[in-house]
Amino acid sequence: MIAEQWQNKLLKDWLDDEQSVDKVAVFLQLHGVRFAKPLVEKRLEVLSDYVKQCNEKSLRQDTDLSSGKQSGGGDIAFAVWLSKAIDEMTIKPSSIERYRNELFTRWDEANVSLTTLRDQLSKVEESDLAHVESIVSHYETFLHYKKPKRRRKAKH
């Protein structure tokens, strides 16, 4: 109970201070350090909760849903962060897969097209542009495998 209250207070403070996803990941010590899986999972969960709160704040402020620019993060920033974490090999891809799938599911449910995603990703900082194609490619694969396969009718 106390840990949950403390976590909620931290999330609120970070949100009020408009901390970036990268900054929160640093606060959670998710950069450049290899942890045991349970510890990483809990910290990734906190980061994911922060991103969701950024998205909610963006909706209330009528800002760009995907980038959450005014609230320091959002789905796009989280997608870039996940891509960086995989590239830097600081966190095992298997630990990140759950969060990437949650992110892609949110985008799919919001009918975010590949074109829209590319447009949103084009707004990231220049230093993060290398991750854009990776994110789009993974989302495209997600969409491809999510669609139900049509069964071909057998000819009689």
Q: pTM surpassing 0.75?
A: no
**Angle in degrees, 0-180, between the axes of helices 37-60 and 93-109, rounded to the nearest 10:** 20
* Two tokens, residue 100: 């990437």
- Which pairs count as long-range contacts for 148-152, CB under 8 Å and 24+ apart, including other chains? none
Residue 75: its pLDDT value, please? 80
Handedness of CA 96, 99, 101, 103 (dihedral sign): negative
Closest alpha carbon to 25 in 89, 106, 82, 93 = 82
* Model confidence pLDDT, tens digit, residues 56-111: 766 544 444 344 333 345 788 888 878 877 776 656 667 778 788 888 998 898 88
Q: Which residue has the higher pLDDT, 106 or 42?
A: 106
Tens digits of per-residue pLDDT, 102-136?
889 988 988 888 998 888 888 888 888 888 888 89
